[in-house]
Amino acid sequence: MRPLDLRSDTVTRPSAEMRRAMAEAEVGDDVYGEDPTVQRLEARVAEMLGKEAALFTSSGTMANQLAIGLHCRPGDEVIAEAGSHCLNFESGAMAALWGVQARTVAGDRGLFDAEDVTRLVRPIADVYPRSRLLCVENTHNRGGGTVWPLDRYTRVVEAGRRAGLAVHLDGVRLFNAQVASGVPARRYAELADTVSICFSKGLGAPVGSALCGPRELIRQARVLRKRLGGGMRQVGILAAAALWALEHNIDRLVEDHRSARCLAEILAELPGVRCDVERVETNMVFAEFPEPASEACAKLASIGILANPEGSTPRMVRMVTHLDAPLEAIEAAAPKLRECWRH
């Protein structure tokens, strides 16, 4: 039997219908700007997010890093939350690729306030790096799949703007935020200069993200993408999957959120396990186990559940719900979990 794989929402496999859309996609060489399906996807994404243009990228990491490369010059400083993906899980790219350093805000579950931004912006002086970019992550992964309330997000972004910063929104799970909060993704997107979204997480496509923003900036992003070896040829096959995902898999994210809540309720009842059900806002569940996280994950694997030892403490495990981890599978796993962690 296939394990219940909750390591990430990146593990989904394309459905038969999505594969059909991929097989039938009209394609061309996208480095020549001749792939009609990619063009359709980029236009659709830009329109959905209220931006002038969009660029298809191989990953969320590439979309985020293109944004940082576009906004910053070597020696500049990025203000970002301490647990944010672009600082912690992108292989040191902002330093390695762009010569940029970070100034971190210690957030509460990934969220922070306008005053934090104002406080961290450097005065202009020869000795200081130039504060240049504010990165905000919605939903915030390490924070627990946290959704930014629109008013707090707006105040943070406005504080950045007042200080002359550009703003990038890491929105690889922005549609989870939309579905959980009822705030349209474009409301978040329109306040930022650039936005990354991802098709291969909750939306279930096999590959791909997009960077959206002003037309001229996205033209420059295309050059940077090529420089990084990210120019792709008959990539309409992948863009077709992304288009299919946008069409069919946004509203159903509510099911993933429901499954995550159900999982959290099961975990919260296990002796010695700490899981705050009220903090499960989207498709991520973080739980603290009585044993070190790697041991807890090994125990979980022994009963057919895959999870990652990830989180802010050594006993914290992350579980993520998605298309291929339906509610029934989670409910079916409950007796095994109870058996494994009984008194």
Nearer to ligand TLP, 61 or 131 (CB): 61
For residue 3, the 8-state DSSP code is: -
171 in Cβ contact with 197 (< 8 Å): yes
What span, in angstroms and rounded, lies between the C-alpha atoms of 240 and 14?
11
In whole angstroms, the minimum distance from the beta carbon of 26 to ligand TLP comes to: 25
Q: How far is 152 from 254, CA to CA, in rounded Å?
A: 23
Q: How far is the CB of 326 from ligand TLP (least distance, A)?
A: 19
- Comparing every residue's Cβ against ligand TLP, the nearest one is 60
CB of 162 to ligand TLP, least distance (A): 26
Q: Which is nearer to ligand TLP, 9 or 42 (CB)?
A: 9
Find out whether the peptide bond into 139 is cis, omega within 30 degrees of 0.
yes
For 343, the token pair is 């008194």
Residue with tokens 């298309």: 323
Nearer to ligand TLP, 173 or 315 (CB): 173
CB nearer to ligand TLP: give 51 or 142.
142
Among left, alpha and beta (phi > 0; psi -120 to 50; other), residue 144 is left
* Of 33, 69, 90, the residue nearest 225 (C-alpha): 69
Task: Tell me whether residue 9 or residue 121 sits nearer to ligand TLP (CB atom).
Answer: 9
Q: How far is the CB of 308 from ligand TLP (least distance, A)?
A: 7
Contact set with ligand TLP (CB under 6 A): 8, 10, 59-61, 64, 85, 89, 137, 141, 170, 172, 198, 209
Q: How far is the CB of 170 from ligand TLP (least distance, A)?
A: 5
